Amino acid sequence: MYLFADGFILNADMIEKLINKDKIKTSMVLAAVRLAPVAKSPDESLGDLFSEVQKEHIYDDGKTFADLVPRLSNKQIKQEYLLAKQDPHFDLREFISRHFYKLDTDKASETFATNPNLTVSEHISALWTHLERRNRLDRGSLISLPYTYVVPGGRFNEQFYWDSYFIMLGLAVEGKWEIIEGMIKNFVYMLNRFGFIPTANRTYFLSRSQPPFLSHMIRLLADHKGQSTLVEYLPYLIKEYNFWMKGSWKLAKQEHRAFARLVQMDNGLLMNRYYDNKMAPRPESLDEDTSTAKSADSRDAERLFLHLRAGAESGWDFSSRWFTDPHDIKTIHTADIIPIDLNSLLYQLETTIADAYRVIKQPLLVRKFKKLADKRMQAIQNYCWDEETGFFTDYNFHHKRSTGRLSLAGVYPMYAKIATNEQAARVAIMIEDSFLKDGGLVTTLTNSLQQWDAPNGWAPLHWIAIQGLRNYGYDELADKIKQAWITTNLKVYRSQHRLVEKYNVVQTHSLGTGGEYPLQDGFGWTNGVLVALLSED
């Protein structure tokens, strides 16, 4: 039996009703929630072997080894490794190939055959099937999920958290509601199993989440099925909220009044930050993080790792938004920052919970969460509005001032309908004058060679900006952005017959650059946003 905030009790029968009507699959889910131990991250279970493989660059992408499946238990493999490496002729590459294999789930191993005669919408429709995965057994670092899901593509063969909302936008256009609801139920499953929604269903992601878009997914489904959907998923919205608000009773005794993802501001209001529960290199980027720490002589390595991990939780990994020196990742300090996007999303989570209570006629609880949302709105106005620039910015609560970094995160308060009309007018001017390029919106105004900076544009941020501008009546500017973004996507599709993770919006024929890994094809949220925008015409 599971007890949620405000007296909600979820027992096994309720889980059975909410998660799965198929008794066999449901029993697997319930067993996993109650009984299955969570496997260790491969860096923990393999120890020195994992570190050595990553340091020796056995694979070009560190995520490759983190995703391999062991043929024996990790304990056995580690014991064999300790003996085998004493041989002067020991071959690490051969050892790995003999003891691990790549998991081929459904169509993951198939090469997608592009048909140049297809329209972009037809191409995306075919891609959805190619990007579907089903995995009901924990294998290696991959965590089982009860329902079919859609992955972003390329190196990303998991159900990622915030990616999924933008993927769902495209699935909804094609009426794929069964998959959408299955993906939401997968998140419900992870909430029950882990107490939060991790970045994706990998063991090495179990210390961090991602931007909380669960309420948006449920609202999307509710628009299709009816407002009772809000009630059906209310316990999970509350569980998600409790994860982000955990630790309020500890704040008074903490440095800077911050604990985990929660921060108490000078005026007593609560705001949130991105965080991670570990202070170690990310397993999938172990070599990159270790190298960054080695070159940052003046910084404590564990604190640096925390800030890198918190940046990864933000989804903006990485951006000058998180740096003291906008061109130097060694100055990253993500966990010192109150992010404008995160707090706008949590405002929307609070209002969604209030709306769910309104459906079941619980006025006291409606008032409670409406009051929490109003307080967050007040905090965002107090700390994240920069009057000098006329834009919403992140806030450094250590230094008690704006970070001064202008980014597309500044449109989230318009997306969440937090901005005043006067603020919206100034944000719209800044968007048109500074962010809008021939190919769409640049992510920031800084070219740092990081992927979440100029000259790159990203599908989810275009969706947020377009919807935010529409909320305040700036339809002409929204349509201008929409057409620029669609044109960029179509130019690349027509010349290369593919859709990619990010685009160079300054040079509209160019692909996105920067980051820790090569540009990825697929691509889930690009597909979803593009189809959703095209469907409006």
501 catalytically annotated: yes
Q: How far, CA to CA in Å, does 445 sit from each of 88, 211, 308, 452?
A: 53, 22, 21, 10
What pLDDT shows up at residue 107?
Answer: 59
**Cα(344)–Cα(482) distance, integer angstroms:** 22
pLDDT tens for 325-362 read 999 999 999 999 999 999 999 999 999 999 999 999 99
Residues in the chain with pLDDT values less than 50? 1-12, 14-16, 18-23, 26, 30, 106
Residues making up the chain, counted from first to last: 537
Domain end, chosen from 244, 269, 296, is at 244
Look at residue 232 and tell me if it is in a domain.
Answer: yes
Look at residue 502 and tell me if it is in a domain.
Answer: yes
The alpha-helical segments, DSSP class H, found in 200-327 are 214-225, 228-232, 234-244, 286-295, 301-313
What single letter denotes the amino acid at residue 58?
I
What pLDDT shows up at residue 109?
Answer: 55
What pLDDT shows up at residue 5?
Answer: 36
Cis peptide before 152 (omega within 30 of 0): no
Look at residue 9 and tell me if it is in a domain.
Answer: yes
pLDDT tens for 485-530 read 999 999 999 999 999 999 999 997 789 999 999 999 999 999 999 9
Structural domain for 192, as ranges:
2-37+103-244
Exactly one of 158, 350, 501, 521 is catalytic; which is it?
Answer: 501
What pLDDT shows up at residue 19?
Answer: 46
pLDDT tens for 501-512 read 999 999 977 899
pTM beyond 0.85: the answer is yes
What pLDDT shows up at residue 274?
Answer: 98
Give yes or no for a contact between 300 and 291, defined as CB atoms under 8 angstroms apart: no
Give yes or no for a contact between 158 and 119, defined as CB atoms under 8 angstroms apart: no
Look at residue 230 and tell me if it is in a domain.
Answer: yes
Look at residue 421 and tell me if it is in a domain.
Answer: yes
Bridge pairing between strands 436-437 and 440-441: antiparallel
Look at residue 341 and tell me if it is in a domain.
Answer: no
What pLDDT shows up at residue 457?
Answer: 98
Look at residue 158 and tell me if it is in a domain.
Answer: yes
Bridge pairing between strands 401-402 and 262-264: unpaired
Domain end, chosen from 214, 244, 274, is at 244
Q: How far, CA to CA in Å, does 138 sit from each of 83, 143, 209, 277?
A: 28, 5, 19, 22
Cis peptide before 160 (omega within 30 of 0): no
For residue 391, what are the β-bridge partners? 386
What pLDDT shows up at residue 23?
Answer: 47
Q: What is the DSSP-derived secondary structure letter of residue 505? A: S
Q: 524-534 and 120-130 are packed helices; what angle lies between their axes, rounded to 10 degrees?
A: 140
What pLDDT shows up at residue 406?
Answer: 98
Q: How far apart are the first and last CA of the chain?
A: 48
Look at residue 235 and tell me if it is in a domain.
Answer: yes
Domain end, chosen from 244, 270, 299, is at 244
What pLDDT shows up at residue 13?
Answer: 53
**Cα(481)–Cα(478) distance, integer angstroms:** 5
Exactly one of 317, 355, 386, 453 is catalytic; which is it?
Answer: 317
Q: What is the domain count for the chain?
A: 2
